[in-house]
Structure 1
């Protein structure tokens, strides 16, 4: 977190001519929060393993993701965390899911997040991590994704060509470009300099940031059991974008959880009870 604060400070002080490399670092560096004691204890009780993921855009080399699992049941439940997060941010949900019989709960730290070492991270590294687990460890029957993890789950499923029994998206990110704009706005980067960042983004990836729009990308089968939880006052994943997505995909079962916000929704007792109930069937 200290590094991100320093990058933000440097950008605010250089608004006359913001450095393109610094803007890139600000967007792709994921701040890390240390584990708390109860999270450390839950990790200690897990089975731990690592899997390689190829970093196509930054290093063009393999990076390892650290993975954790609880239980050894036949049904596999995969948890995909959001940006600047980690597997154990699902702590409360993991504790509740452990009460369900015959499941294995699988979680991971995406590259550059939590305990998985990488200088930078991005959406495709998240999606490729989901694919690595499905192809090299266990194909999940249930996928649960929060924020960027919700978008990553959809991309991974579509690239894998598989349909899980249940897909749960919690406060999913819908538009990546607008999220980047929100971040750059927060440190006073003007439109002209943002245009430079987005032009560089399109050269590096090589698609425009606007390509990562879930309303346009989503092509899962309409009969998939997809539950989506949201807070209508969420400022990270704004409701107008979500509404557009839901209007285009009416088969998705969406439910509002008011007053919880983008991050605290993961700790909502109502949400946790709802999710556990859906997995129980």
Structure 2
């Protein structure tokens, strides 16, 4: 958090002409929060392993993701956390999923998040982490993703031949560009300078930020069991974007959970109960 605060202060002090490199750092640096005691205890009870992910945009080299699993069942559930988060932010859900027989729960810290060391991170590193686990460790029976992790799961799912029985999206991001705009607005970066950032983004990735819009990208068929949990007053993943996405994909089973917010939705007993019920019904492979 200290580094992020420094970046924000520098951006606010140079409002007349924000530095393009600082804007890039602000967007792609993921702040880290230390583990709490109960999270450390859950990690201590896990099987731990590491995998490699190729960073095609920042370092152009392999980076390491730290992974954790609980249980050794034939049914595999993969958890993908959101931005500025970590595997153990699923603590409450993992604890309840552990009560299900014949299940292995797999989670990871995406590059630049939690214990996985990398200077910067991005959506594609999240998606490539999901692919790496599927290719090199286990094919998941179910994918669960929160926020950016929900978007990453869908991108990974569509890029490789994954056939999970169940996809669960918790407050997923729908439009990445608008999320970036929201972040830049929060530090008073004007439209002209935001245009510079987005122009540089399109050269670096090399697609425009508006390309990452699930309302346009989503191609998963109606036969997939896809459950989506959301708070209609979520300000990080605004409901108007979600409404458009759901209107285009009416076979997704969406459920509203009021007054839980974007982050606390992961701790909601009602949300967890719904998810546990669905995971309990997974067929045996």
Matched ranges for 1:199-210 at <5 A: 199-210=199-210
Residue 18 (structure 2) pairs with residue 18 (structure 1): yes
Distance, in Å, in 2 between the alignment partners of 1:162 and 1:68 is 20
Instruction: Give the match's secondary structure for 2:255.
Output: strand
1:163, distance to aligned residue in structure 2 (A): 2.4
Instruction: Give the match's secondary structure for 2:54.
Output: strand
Query: 1:140: which partner in 2?
Result: 140
Q: Which runs of 5+ in 2 are unaligned?
A: none
Query: 1:85: which partner in 2?
Result: 85
Query: 1:197: which partner in 2?
Result: 197
Distance, in Å, in 2 between the alignment partners of 1:251 and 1:221 is 9
Query: 1:259: which partner in 2?
Result: 259
Query: 1:71: which partner in 2?
Result: 71
Instruction: Give the match's secondary structure for 1:274.
Output: helix
Distance, in Å, in 1 between the alignment partners of 2:182 and 2:46 is 37
Q: Deviations over 1:22-66 (max 9, x none)?
A: 000000000000000000000000000000000000000000000
Please report the TM-score for the alignment, with normalisation by the length of structure 1. 1.00
Q: Deviations over 1:232-281 (max 9, x none)?
A: 00000000000000000000000000000000000000000110001112
1:161, distance to aligned residue in structure 2 (A): 2.4
Distance, in Å, in 2 between the alignment partners of 1:10 and 1:214 is 33
Q: Deviations over 1:167-191 (max 9, x none)?
A: 0000000000000000000000000
**How many residues end up aligned between the 2 structures?**
281
Distance, in Å, in 2 between the alignment partners of 1:222 and 1:206 is 31
Instruction: Give the match's secondary structure for 1:185.
Output: helix
Q: Deviations over 1:61-109 (max 9, x none)?
A: 0000000000000000000000000000000000000000000000000
1:162, distance to aligned residue in structure 2 (A): 2.1
Please report the TM-score for the alignment, with normalisation by the length of structure 2. 0.98
Distance, in Å, in 1 between the alignment partners of 2:272 and 2:55 is 33
Residue 120 (structure 2) pairs with residue 120 (structure 1): yes
Distance, in Å, in 1 between the alignment partners of 2:246 and 2:237 is 13
Structure 1 stretches of 4+ moved >6 Å? none
Query: 2:56: which partner in 1?
Result: 56
Q: Deviations over 1:183-215 (max 9, x none)?
A: 000000000000000000000000000000011
Instruction: Give the match's secondary structure for 1:53.
Output: strand
Distance, in Å, in 2 between the alignment partners of 1:128 and 1:214 is 17
Distance, in Å, in 1 between the alignment partners of 2:133 and 2:163 is 15
Distance, in Å, in 2 between the alignment partners of 1:242 and 1:8 is 29
Distance, in Å, in 1 between the alignment partners of 2:162 and 2:136 is 15
Matched ranges for 1:135-174 at <5 A: 135-174=135-174
Query: 2:130: which partner in 1?
Result: 130
1:150, distance to aligned residue in structure 2 (A): 0.2
Distance, in Å, in 2 between the alignment partners of 1:50 and 1:64 is 6
1:115, distance to aligned residue in structure 2 (A): 0.1
